[in-house]
Amino acid sequence: EVQLVESGGGLVQPGRSLRLSCAASGFTFDDYAMHWVRQAPGKGLEWVSGISWNSGSIGYADSVKGRFTISRDNAKNSLYLQMNSLRAEDTALYYCAKDSEQLAGRGWIDYWGQGTLVTVSS
């Protein structure tokens, strides 16, 4: 059974940093691209970032480019999102999501985690 378990969310002040983690199990992690997708309270889904199976291809939404960094550790079956210079508008539930293919953008999201909540407020 595929499981994606996010952690690392919490309350953080504007301008500070936070690192999200996603522990993956139930599939061969290094065979697939991965994504972060977020959802602000009461709002729709927003794609944040994607990373290919070998970290060779990475993409970011314009809204987070230059502030967020996605990475993965295939030896630990883990996905990460380093979030710097956080803003109030980054407040959201952050989902870790598995792609059906090795390269992000070539497949579709077939599994989602339950999300971790990030609240940016003073």
Partner 1 sequence: NFMLTQPHSVSESPGKTVTISCTRSSGSIASNYVQWYQQRPGSAPTTVIYEDNQRPSGVPDRFSGSIDSSSNSASLTISGLKTEDEADYYCQSYDSSNRGVFGGGTKLTVL
The number of residues that bind partner 1 (CB under 8 A) is 25
Stretch that binds partner 1, among 12-20, 23-31, 56-64, 69-77 (CB under 8 A): 56-64
At 36, is the secondary structure helix, strand, or coil? strand
Half-sphere exposure (Cβ direction) of 73: Cα atoms closer than 13 Å: 8
| Residue 59 near partner 1 by CB under 8 A | yes
* Least distance between partner 1 and beta carbon 16 (Å): 26
Beta bridge partners of 39: 45, 93
| Residue 83 near partner 1 by CB under 8 A | no
Question: Which of 8, 9, 27, 61 lies at the binding interface for partner 1 (CB under 8 A)?
Answer: 61
Distance CA(48)–CA(65), nearest Å, equals 9
